[in-house]
Chains A and B, each alone.
Chain A
Amino acid sequence: DAKTTQPPSMDCAEGRAANLPCNHSTISGNEYVYWYRQIHSQGPQYIIHGLKNNETNEMASLIITEDRKSSTLILPHATLRDTAVYYCIVRVGNQFYFGTGTSLTVIP
């Protein structure tokens, strides 16, 4: 059973905020949500992670709903270099469960 569900693709205009949703309805109380992205089949690149509080770093913001069944990754000002596949991941103990990802295309 997939632990995360994401839309397969999204478009975003350059300079606008990109909001990438993820459903993780079976998540347990101590399981973290991580976001990674992958550009041109390179190794996945870490973006951000959180448990239940909203998180922000220099790359993005992570909004987790109060019931923790879903989250949204926000890229505040998307650039062409943000075009990539974005993975929402649930960490269960020491194992990381990848979904099939969302292919984000930033349009000029």
Chain B
Amino acid sequence: NAGVTQTPKFRVLKTGQSMTLLCAQDMNHEYMYWYRQDPGMGLRLIHYSVGEGTTAKGEVPDGYNVSRLKKQNFLLGLESAAPSQTSVYFCASYGGYNQPQHFGDGTRLSIL
């Protein structure tokens, strides 16, 4: 049982480039989330989804887009990367009913 899997684990981009981060979960969870974590800080919610085909903005959504075409996958896109988006990105899923949230191992993204 893999849980939550994030790809890639590391990536270096140049300013203005675009990329997509993939999150996959195999627990049939309805809810999925993308967070970013900057040095010395807690996790901040970027976007989330309450089910297939739905997305919603979190605390820091600017500069990011998301899609949830399949229940098991949640994609985070950066259309034009900026140095301020250098961060560690975590994906999580949640099954509801007061269960815990499950996290992936993170994607370390550097934008030069």
Chain A interfacial positions (CB closer than 8 Å to B) = 32, 34, 36, 41-46, 49, 51, 87, 94-96, 98-101
Contacts and interface: CB of A to CB of B under 8 A. Distances in A.
Contacts of B31: 94
A101 B106 contact: no
A98 B43 contact: yes
A44 B90 contact: yes
B13 interface: no
Can you list the 4 inter-chain pairs with the closest CB atoms, starting with the nearest? A43-B103, A98-B42, A46-B100, A98-B43
Contact of A95 (B4, B45, B98, B105): B45
Contacts, number: 51
Interface on chain B toward A: helix, strand, loop, or mixed SS?
strand
B74 interface: no
Contact of A96 (B41, B101, B106): B101
A101 B43 CA distance: 10
Interface residues of B, number: 27
Interface string B54-92: 000010000000000000000000000000000010101
Contacts of A36: 101
Contact of B100 (A41, A49, A100): A49
Q: Which of A44, A45, A49, A87 has the most B CB atoms < 10 Å from its CB?
A: A44
A99 B41 CA distance: 8
11 contacts: A36-B101, A41-B106, A43-B104, A44-B90, A44-B92, A46-B102, A51-B98, A87-B42, A96-B45, A98-B42, A98-B43
A42 B102 contact: no
A94 B50 contact: yes
A43 B101 contact: no
